[in-house]
Amino acid sequence: MSTAAFEVLAASREALNVTVAFLGGLVVAGALVWAVRVGIKVMEREPHRPTVEEQTRLPETGPVHEVREVREPDEVPVATDGRRLMPYELHQAQTRRGDDQHRRRWRPGSSGSFGSGGFRL
């Protein structure tokens, strides 16, 4: 083969590469356009955003504040026939306000880590 034939072959490969790159770019651009159209259709199906009048408001009495109190749990019921209770037989855990409202504190000078005995009742 002569050098002219190699030049023609190289030019045709270069043209093929450019064509493939251009077609690949068209595919990517088409996929992006399709994704945007699908996104717009999904957004149109969503419920509308609330207007200023539909927004929630504070109650007339003002903001609600956190209440801290010590609660006491109910005792776990025992089966009357000596069998083990199944989880579905237990009632919902109820609590009641404790008589002693002082929070438990760590003893001064103790690290408070597990097993240290630093917790006082």
Residues 106, 112 contacting (CB under 8 angstroms) = yes
86 vs 111, residue with greater confidence = 86
The segment with the largest mean pLDDT, out of 48-52, 85-89, 108-112, 114-118, is: 48-52
- Residues 10-20 pLDDT 10s: 667 888 888 99
Neighbour count for residue 70 (Cβ, 10 Å): 13
pLDDT surpasses 80 at 90: no
105 vs 50, residue with greater confidence = 50
The sign of the dihedral angle between the CA atoms of 75, 76, 80, 82 is negative
Give me the pLDDT at residue 43, please: 93
How far is the C-alpha of 63 from the C-alpha of 6, rounded, in Å? 83
